[in-house]
Amino acid sequence: MKLKLLALSSRMCPTATYSRSVKLSSQSSSCSLARTYASLGQAAATAMELGLNRSRFLGIGLEYADFREYQESDDVKYVDWTLSARSLDTATGEYKLYTKVFHVEKMKNIIFVADLTDSMLIEEKLAALFYISSLLLELSHRLSDRISLVTLTHGPRVYRALRGREAIRVLENIICREREARGSTRINEIIDILRAYTGKNTAITIITDYAHEIEEFAALTRLKRAMMIPAAVYLIFQRWEIEQPVDNATATLIDPETLTPITDRLEEIYKAIKAHVSHVQALLSAARINHLPVQGISDAKARTVKIAETYLKTRQMHVASI
- pLDDT by residue, tens only, the chain of 322 residues: 334 443 333 333 332 333 334 455 566 788 999 999 999 999 999 887 644 444 445 445 445 556 667 777 666 766 777 777 878 777 777 888 877 665 556 678 999 999 999 889 899 999 999 999 999 999 999 888 999 999 999 889 999 999 999 999 999 999 988 656 677 788 989 999 999 988 878 999 999 999 999 999 999 999 999 988 899 999 999 988 888 877 776 767 666 666 777 777 788 888 889 999 999 999 999 999 999 999 999 999 999 989 998 998 898 775 443 3
Q: What is the distance between the alpha carbons of residues 212 and 180, in angstroms, rounded to a whole number?
A: 20
Residue type, 105: E
C-alpha to C-alpha distances, 22 to 19, 31, 123, 221, nearest whole angstrom: 6, 16, 7, 32
Q: What is the distance between the alpha carbons of residues 263 and 248, in angstroms, rounded to a whole number?
A: 14
Q: What is the distance between the alpha carbons of residues 115 and 6, in angstroms, rounded to a whole number?
A: 13
Helix (H) or strand (E) holding 221: helix 214-227
Residues 6 or more apart in contact with residue 310 via CB below 8 angstroms:
232, 234, 290, 292
Contact 235, 292 (CB under 8 A): yes
CA-closest candidate to residue 17, choices 5, 7, 25, 9 = 9
Q: Count Cβ neighbours within 10 Å for each residue of 255-264 and write b for 16 or more, e otherwise.
A: bbbeeeebee
CA torsion through residues 22, 26, 30, 35, sign: negative
Q: Count Cβ neighbours within 10 Å for each residue of 29-45 and write b for 16 or more, e otherwise.
A: ebbebbbebbebbbebb
pLDDT at 47: 82
Identify any residues that bridge with 294 across adjacent strands, giving them in sequence order. 236
Residue length of the chain: 322
Q: What is the pTM assigned to this prediction?
A: 0.76
Contact 303, 60 (CB under 8 A): no
Contact 102, 8 (CB under 8 A): no
C-alpha to C-alpha distances, 42 to 24, 48, 98, 205, 233, nearest whole angstrom: 23, 10, 26, 17, 20
